[in-house]
């Protein structure tokens, strides 16, 4: 980039930041908590090094499961929602992503001569509709889908899975279609010259070339799904977010950290897993 354009870009971004600060009346003095806030912050963060291992409440009803078991159970449901949502979105997003890619209809799949638009028939329409559906699914956040589904069906675990799966399917479809379109065309060319049909070229020439990228991305989204699923707890599902909010509101700050660290552990493991996979599949 030329120097002037670089300066201009940074200047614009800085100006946008200033506009936002004025619009929101962001005052640095508000960053200092009030006395009550300060006390709370001190109590909360002083427990960061000593998360609770047992309930902090004085009167725990007999027969309540131990805190750590409860955290484990919340973690299990968090993983269940995430895994179910990811598998559902892989199926829906995979199908949508196929139709939203240009690889299956523009030109001859090998990236060679392009055919005129009029020769494609309904295919551009299918492509356009797929793109539109993807944009609509993605543009509403999973928590808003959850609110809508809650209002329509009431609290149900399947609704939580579907709420995550809708925007995630859209994202998978968008990213997968781009990966299919950008995959190397060498095997497609070879298959074409051997006389393979379109579907054979797609299945054995294009898809395998994009598959490593696609699976690495799927694992990365699993990590995101874990966070989304934990957050759904704030809307009443007994995932980790539910207990974080409940313990926080009861001022049991040690328990807040127990649940928070459980979530961090889940996310860090998933992060390491997807990172290791990416290094092997994509960067190798």
Partner 1 sequence: MSVDGRIAEVERLRRRRPRDRFARLSVWALVLLTLLAWSSEGLWSTDYFSPRRQQNLQRFLGELRPHPLQGQPFDVSVATAWAGEILSERGWEAARITLAMSVAAIVLASLAGLALTLTSARTHATSEPYLPGPRPPTRGQRWVWRAVVGASRLVLILIRSIPEYVWAFILLAVLGPNAWPVVLALALHNAGIVGKLTAEVVENLEPGPLRALRGVGAGRLQIAATGLFPLILPRFLLFFFYRWETCVREATVLGMLGITSLGFWIVDSRARNHYDEMFFFVLMGAGLVLIGDLVSAVAREVVRRAA
Site for partner 1 in 109-148 (CB under 8 A): 135-136, 138-141, 143-144, 147-148
- Comparing CB distances to partner 1, the nearer of 27 and 59 is 27
Give the x/- contact pattern for partner 1 in 265-284, rule: CB under 8 A.
--xx--x-x--xx--xx--x
* Cβ at position 62, least distance to partner 1 in Å: 25
| Size of interface with partner 1, in residues (CB under 8 A) | 78
Among positions 154-193, residues that touch partner 1 (CB under 8 A) are 154, 156-159, 161
Identified binder of partner 1 from the candidate list 25, 49, 58, 193, rule CB under 8 A: 25
Among positions 213-232, residues that touch partner 1 (CB under 8 A) are 215, 218-219, 222, 227-228, 230-231
Residue 55 engages partner 1 in binding (rule: CB under 8 A):
no
Identified binder of partner 1 from the candidate list 8, 16, 194, 203, rule CB under 8 A: 16
| Nearest CA among 86, 90, 85, 119 for reference residue 105 | 119
CB contact at 8 A, 105 and 119: no
What is the end-to-end Cα distance of the chain in Å, rounded? Answer: 30
Residues 203 and 261: their CA atoms lie apart, in Å, by: 43
- How many other β-carbons are positioned within 10 Å of the β-carbon of residue 93? 28
Residue 30 engages partner 1 in binding (rule: CB under 8 A):
yes
- How many other β-carbons are positioned within 10 Å of the β-carbon of residue 155? 12
* Cβ at position 83, least distance to partner 1 in Å: 4
* Cβ at position 104, least distance to partner 1 in Å: 22
Identified binder of partner 1 from the candidate list 99, 241, 257, 262, rule CB under 8 A: 241
- Comparing CB distances to partner 1, the nearer of 206 and 270 is 270
Residue 247: strand, helix, or coil: helix
104: left (phi over 0), alpha (psi -120 to 50) or beta: alpha
Residue 23 engages partner 1 in binding (rule: CB under 8 A):
yes
Identified binder of partner 1 from the candidate list 74, 77, 196, 201, rule CB under 8 A: 77
Identified binder of partner 1 from the candidate list 4, 34, 118, 193, rule CB under 8 A: 34
Packing angle, helices 67-100 and 207-231, rounded to 10: 140
| Nearest CA among 15, 20, 18, 19 for reference residue 7 | 15
Identified binder of partner 1 from the candidate list 58, 152, 193, 199, rule CB under 8 A: 152
Residue 153 engages partner 1 in binding (rule: CB under 8 A):
yes
* Complete DSSP assignment for 108-169: TSSS-SPPPGGGGTTHHHHHHHHHHHHHHHHHS-HHHHHHHHHHHH-S-HHHHHHHHHHHHH
Q: Where does this chain touch partner 1 (CB under 8 A) — which range of 6-14, 54-62, 102-110, 192-200?
A: 6-14
| Nearest CA among 176, 200, 166 for reference residue 100 | 176
């Amino acid at each position: 980039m030329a120097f002037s354009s670089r300066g201009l870009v940074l200047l614009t971004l800085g100006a946008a930041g200033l506009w936002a600060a004025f619009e929101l009346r962001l005052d640095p003095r508000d960053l200092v908590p009030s006395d009550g806030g300060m006390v709370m912050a001190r109590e909360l963060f002083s427990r960061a090094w000593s998360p609770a291992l047992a309930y902090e409440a004085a009167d725990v009803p007999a027969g309540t499961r131990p805190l750590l078991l409860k955290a484990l159970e919340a973690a299990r449901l968090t993983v269940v929602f995430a895994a179910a949502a990811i598998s559902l979105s892989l199926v829906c997003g995979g199908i949508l992503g196929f139709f939203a890619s240009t690889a299956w209809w523009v030109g001859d799949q090998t990236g060679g001569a392009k055919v005129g638009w009029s020769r494609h028939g309904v295919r551009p329409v299918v492509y356009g509709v797929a793109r539109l559906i993807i944009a609509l699914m993605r543009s509403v956040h999973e928590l808003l889908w959850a609110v809508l589904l809650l209002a329509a069906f009431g609290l149900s675990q399947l609704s939580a899975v579907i709420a995550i799966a809708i925007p995630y399917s859209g994202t998978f479809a968008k990213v997968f279609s781009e990966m299919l379109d950008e995959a190397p065309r060498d095997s497609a060319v070879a298959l074409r010259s051997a006389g393979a049909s379109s579907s054979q070229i797609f299945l054995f020439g294009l898809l395998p070339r994009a598959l490593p990228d696609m699976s690495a991305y799927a694992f990365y989204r699993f990590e995101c799904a874990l966070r989304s699923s934990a957050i759904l707890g704030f809307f009443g599902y007994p995932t980790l977010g539910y207990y974080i909010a409940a313990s926080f509101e009861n001022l049991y700050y040690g328990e807040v950290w127990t649940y928070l660290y459980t979530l961090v552990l889940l996310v860090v493991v998933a992060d390491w897993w997807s990172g290791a996979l990416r290094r092997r599949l994509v960067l190798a």
